[in-house]
Structure 1
Amino acid sequence: MSEARPSLFAATFSLLMCLYGSSVWGQSMEEKLSAAIHANEIAGLHATVVMLDGGRISEAYFAGEDERWGMPIGIVDHGPETLHDVRSVTKSVVGLLYGIALADGLVPPLDTPLLDLFPEYSDLRDGTAREAITVQDALTMQMGTQWDESLPYSNPRNSEIAMEMASDRYRFVLDRPMVSEPGKIWTYNGGAVALIGKLIADGTKMEIDQFAEARLFHTLGITNYEWVRGGDGVPSAASGLRLTARDLAAIGVMVSQDGKYDGRQIVPAAWLEASFRPEANIIDGFNYGLLWYVASGPSGDPILIAQGNGGQRLTIQPKARFVVATFAGNYNQPGAWEMPLQVLLDYAVPEAGRHQSE
């Protein structure tokens, strides 16, 4: 249900810096994408929305087979109001929620040991490095515990699926065997985000979907959304959010504007700065912050990425105020990350250049 192949995301983003010097194309982005789909050059694309300087400059929608949190729902004629799984983009939204709650003093500081916050699992205090795992280690996916989401999400041995099947998801996450020192090695871990979601719910006295609606979605004008719940009735912090492409793009615009939207500060700018500070190196030029991927663009300008299974992607280049949200239906397919990157570089970037040239 999540996206567990981050090493594949690395690519050159130099074209993103050409926004103000791209050639003018006669066709619109939607026309070019339609032609590419009919020529079988692009498969599985459902939607893409391009924002520049806070305004929507282009969008395109296509029909295709879709799912709702792993369950097929048939062919959907996607449009501006269609809800779509964002899958692991959910994690990055949860990161924003933690920052909002932290500023309100409702959740623990990042250096707090996790087991201090789950006293019901006192038996897990076993004298190992487990006792040293902090909130920050969960936010940066460096808990040091055994976790494997490289298996298909149809496989019960996949750690996220095993967590969903467990009688107590939080105990399952916290009692995984220690395999490294906390804070040292990055391991993709949806369970870490489940813990963060629990801390938000406990601190705010609201489930994460309710807190998101009150403090993030409402202020962004997002009224059409769904947050899918697991078998235990808890909204999935790792992958359960469903949004429209326009609303995902609105979140990107807010991030690109240092947490402000319509003149209101929604997410503290200091939290965003911390979120996009590289905390774990995945490969050269591609890092992880606080539940966000951070790529290095030309001249060191950061490119912020939230990524989800099947080709869901939110890309933000703050310096250029350039945001692209893309939805796709290539769930559980190896290389599903490639198509939204192709849409970004070959279609969205030229469209932004065309817009600037008009």
Structure 2
Amino acid sequence: MTRPYFTAAALALLVASSLAAQVAPSPWPTSTPSKVGLNPAVLDSLDAEITAGKYGNIDRLLVIRRGQIAMDKTYPRDYDRIYGDSSRSSSALNNSHDPTGPFNYFNPWWHPTYRRGTLHTLQSVSKTVASAVIGVAVTRGDFPDLDTPILKYWDTTAVANLDERKRRITIRHLLTMTGGFDWNESVPYSDPRNTAGPLEASPDWVKFTIDRPMMREPGTQFNYSSGESALLAHIFFRATGVDIEEYAARYLFAPLGITDWHWKRTPSGTIDTEGGLYLEARDLARIWQLWLQGGRWKGTPIVSERWVRESVTPQVATSARAGAPRYGYKWWLYTNPVKPDALIWAGSGFGGQFPMAFPDQDMVVVINAWNISGGPTLPLRAVQERLIKAAK
């Protein structure tokens, strides 16, 4: 473990402890499916399928409707048995530079829960949460215009492969995955051709990404890139003078009553805004509920309604494939399968992390899983349809 990572982790613990003393968490009220207008038979059938292992390693199913918990199920898994052998062998998901650390995705001390506790890895849902933190900072007037060129926050004499296209990349492009860098994250993470592997193996993720050559004009095409999301931690600090984790702790987590989290840092010490956040499912649901409520929590505005609306407005198509989700500011936007003119606002993380808000149904669903080695997985679109049809 490097000194920057250790120091940041210790600082995070102190901040979390301080906030815990200031803000008491407000538990979700609980109800039954029937009382909140959900068909219990649908939820029971989904629960039975998960219990039977039909969808692999599902860890949690949390369903909240009308601000009340209708179902909360956990599914214990023996990850030492499932992934223990893989954690000790070399692969793209078990970085040789970090065999016992947080970037060994088979290591049960780190995945899927932090130190075998209740905080579940969110993987790329961290991107969506980082976007939410930026939204809070925009609301508070602490963050620059989204059309600001990102190279404002670098010494360009030290940036490799610099050309006019790279000079035209803006913060908005990073939020919409349209930065234009030469990046391939379209193959499985176990494939050595996936650029995310060399990113995580590098000592400085920010430098690795900003030095990449350009592939296309910024803003012209969606290309999924964890590196672009990693740049946001650097930009946030340079623009605000505050670490993005500390800002989240003070202005997003604390107002929502979130007092327990872990956010990994990269080897160079920056927060891993592309995939490093761990939260308990009920706390993750608070952020999605905040979006359902137009950015207000208990009547207090946390993030502006304008930002909420813009962030879940489709900014770019993710694929030409029929039915493919569109993309907002790090939000995956699925067409409601029952009402085509409506959207489902989702996060999506490696292994099966799916927090979802169904605005037309006033419903938030969090699914955590750890399916990283093939086998059955959750049929997301079919499950979305079943949940919507369960809502009366």
**Short-chain TM bin:** 0.7 to 0.9
Q: Which moved more, 1:134-143 or 1:228-237?
A: 228-237
In 1, Cα distance between the equivalents of 2:239 and 2:248? 13
Amino acid paired to 1:41: K
Aligned twin of 2:363:
322
Specify whether residues 23 and 210 from structure 1 end up closer, same or farther in structure 2 by C-alpha distance, changes over 3 A only.
closer
Aligned twin of 1:8:
none
Partner of residue 296 from structure 1, selected from 325, 331, 335: 335
Matches within 5 A, 1:1-358: 24-25=39-40, 27=41, 29=43, 31-66=44-79, 70-73=105-108, 82-121=118-157, 123-124=159-160, 126-154=162-190, 157-283=193-319, 284-285=322-323, 286-297=325-336, 298-331=339-372, 333=374, 336=377, 338-346=378-386, 348-349=387-388, 352-353=391-392
Does the CA contact (< 8 Å) of 1:204 and 1:211 recur in 2?
no
Q: What do residues 72-127 of structure 1 show as CA deviations (whole Å, max 9, x unaligned)?
A: 2179899xx81100110000001111111122332221111111221255554844
Specify whether residues 116 and 202 from structure 1 end up closer, same or farther in structure 2 by C-alpha distance, changes over 3 A only.
closer
Secondary structure of the residue that 1:58 maps to in structure 2?
Answer: strand
Alpha-carbon shift at residue 339 of structure 1 (Å): 4.2
Q: What do residues 302-339 of structure 1 show as CA deviations (whole Å, max 9, x unaligned)?
A: 21111001110011122321110110010254774x34
Q: What do residues 99-156 of structure 1 show as CA deviations (whole Å, max 9, x unaligned)?
A: 1112233222111111122125555484431111111111111011111123443555
Amino acid paired to 1:289: G
Specify whether residues 232 and 171 from structure 1 end up closer, same or farther in structure 2 by C-alpha distance, changes over 3 A only.
closer
Amino acid paired to 1:314: P
Secondary structure of the residue that 1:200 maps to in structure 2?
Answer: helix
Q: Which moved more, 1:127-136 or 1:163-172?
A: 163-172
Alpha-carbon shift at residue 239 of structure 1 (Å): 0.4
Unmatched runs of 5 consecutive residues or more in structure 1: 1-18, 354-358
Name the structure, 1 or 2, with higher relative contact order (CA <8 Å, separation 6+): 1
Does the CA contact (< 8 Å) of 1:98 and 1:196 recur in 2?
no
Amino acid paired to 2:233: G
Does the CA contact (< 8 Å) of 1:65 and 1:329 recur in 2?
no
Unmatched runs of 5 consecutive residues or more in structure 2: 1-33, 84-101
TM value normalised by structure 1? 0.82
Secondary structure of the residue that 2:278 maps to in structure 1?
Answer: strand
Amino acid paired to 2:347: A
In 1, Cα distance between the equivalents of 2:177 and 2:203? 23
Amino acid paired to 2:331: W
In 1, Cα distance between the equivalents of 2:191 and 2:39? 47
Q: Which has the higher strand share?
A: 1
In 2, Cα distance between the equivalents of 1:205 and 1:185? 31
Amino acid paired to 1:309: F
Amino acid paired to 2:263: W
In 2, Cα distance between the equivalents of 1:335 and 1:201? 40
Does the CA contact (< 8 Å) of 1:149 and 1:189 recur in 2?
yes
Specify whether residues 65 and 140 from structure 1 end up closer, same or farther in structure 2 by C-alpha distance, changes over 3 A only.
farther
Percent identity, aligned pairs only? 29
Alpha-carbon shift at residue 23 of structure 1 (Å): 8.4
Alpha-carbon shift at residue 24 of structure 1 (Å): 4.3
In 1, Cα distance between the equivalents of 2:155 and 2:363? 44
TM value normalised by structure 2? 0.75
In 1, Cα distance between the equivalents of 2:149 and 2:39? 54
Secondary structure of the residue that 1:295 maps to in structure 2?
Answer: strand
Secondary structure of the residue that 1:330 maps to in structure 2?
Answer: coil
Amino acid paired to 1:42: Y
